[in-house]
Amino acid sequence: MIKIGIECESIEGKNPMFGVGRVIVKLLEEVSSQPELAKNYKFILYFKDSIPDFSFLNAPIFEKKITPVPFIKNRLFPIYYFALLPMRLWFEKLDWMFWPNYMLPIIATGKSIVMLTEDVYYETYAKKLPFRYRLAYFIFGWWTAKFATKIMAISETSKKNVAKLYKINPNKIFTAHLGVGSASAEATARLQHKEGDYLLYVGQMFPRRHARETILAFKKFITEHSHILENVRMSDLKLVMVGHDKYNPPVIKELVQKTNQELGSERIVHHDYLEKRENLEKLYSGAKALIYVSDREAFGLPPM
């Protein structure tokens, strides 16, 4: 029996959930859907404060554990992650431990898999994050690069970038490509509807993803280049955007309002988050085109 530990703090109490949290949720959902894995594997899931109420966590293949911080009402993530959890693992006798949050604790022992992206490197030196975060990324990012047994990247490009930036052998890095979820025939049929007259932007809105420039380009497109799209009434064409405004300071809400006023109607629709995944899938399936402009993407382009 192979025992694999997974650090799962990123999925407890997080709503909405992005990035690492979604990767972990989908990984655990997939594991729970394959009961035959239980013949050879046991997954031990480690949480900081509480075990979330996900039905897939009830699968027999999972063993769930909480690592509390004693005498501290609001349990601090650094104490849990860098001290108490790795000390607990000294006695757990795991075959492998998966650390998805980009950082390998210095006192962690045993075989480790750590997810690492080039974004960690760039954010370390960009001086946009508070100093304590940049210091943690600097120390533990380099520690991960040098001492993790294996490093997981999300795309081949990210693998090459991580190897180059951290000056490590690419053979130490493996790629786990993003996947798409399975869908029933009934669900697929519901999504097969007529295209809408809208362009779609999905993703958290960082400067490197050019959400602001997308809005400005859309305005210019429909006012100056309406001849490009055939069989589309430009008076009906909209830009639908889904994602949190991560600009510092935030700019998207004000820009959307200003642009709509200048265009004389609600031509740009911004959703901070869509609770139901089905609503997002319908937006994907009905769009005329998907807009995804990014300077770099450690997590790769979203599969469609």
Alpha-carbon span 11 to 21, nearest angstrom: 5
Q: What pLDDT is stored for residue 302 in this prediction?
A: 64
HSE of 50, CA atoms in CB hemisphere, 13 A: 7
DSSP 3-state assignment of 113?
Answer: strand
Phi-psi label, residue 24: left if phi above 0, alpha if psi -120 to 50, beta otherwise: alpha
Q: What is the pTM of this model?
A: 0.81
Of 110, 102, 169, 100, the closest CA to residue 141 belongs to 102
246: Cα separation from own chain's centroid: 14
Question: What does DSSP assign to residue 81?
Answer: I
Check if the beta carbon of residue 158 is closer than 8 Å to that of residue 197.
no
Q: What is the pLDDT along the chain (304 residues), one digit of tens a residue?
A: 999 999 999 999 766 677 889 889 999 999 999 999 999 999 999 999 899 999 999 999 999 999 988 766 556 889 999 999 999 999 999 999 999 999 999 999 999 999 999 989 998 988 778 888 899 999 999 999 999 999 999 889 899 999 999 999 999 999 998 777 666 555 555 555 455 789 999 988 988 899 999 999 999 988 887 666 665 666 688 999 999 998 989 999 999 999 999 999 999 999 998 877 778 888 888 888 899 888 887 776 765 5
Task: Kindly state the tokens that stand for 54.
Answer: 């996900």
Q: What is the CATH number assigned to the segment(s) 185-291?
A: 3.40.50.2000
Check if the beta carbon of residue 162 is closer than 8 Å to that of residue 114.
no
Q: What pLDDT is stored for residue 222 in this prediction?
A: 84
Task: Kindly state the tokens that stand for 201.
Answer: 């932007």
Fold that domain 2-175 belongs to in CATH: Rossmann fold (3.40.50)
HSE of 176, CA atoms in CB hemisphere, 13 A: 15
Q: φ, ψ for residue 59 (rounded to 5)?
A: -60, 140
Task: Kindly state the tokens that stand for 77.
Answer: 């993530």
The distance between the two most distant Cα atoms of the chain, rounded to a whole number of Å, is 68
What ranges in the chain are assigned the alpha helix state H? 19-32, 77-79, 85-89, 118-126, 131-147, 156-166, 185-191, 211-224, 252-263, 277-286
Q: What pLDDT is stored for residue 73 in this prediction?
A: 56
Task: Kindly state the tokens that stand for 99.
Answer: 């650390």
In the chain, domain spans? 2-175, 185-291
Q: What pLDDT is stored for residue 159 in this prediction?
A: 94
HSE of 35, CA atoms in CB hemisphere, 13 A: 3
Q: What pLDDT is stored for residue 277 in this prediction?
A: 76
Q: What pLDDT is stored for residue 11 in this prediction?
A: 94
162: Cα separation from own chain's centroid: 17
Check if the beta carbon of residue 30 is closer than 8 Å to that of residue 70.
no
Angle at 64 between CA 61 and CA 67, to 5 degrees: 155
Dihedral sign, Cα of residue 164, residue 169, residue 171, residue 177: negative
Q: What pLDDT is stored for residue 194 in this prediction?
A: 53
Check if the beta carbon of residue 3 is closer than 8 Å to that of residue 42.
yes
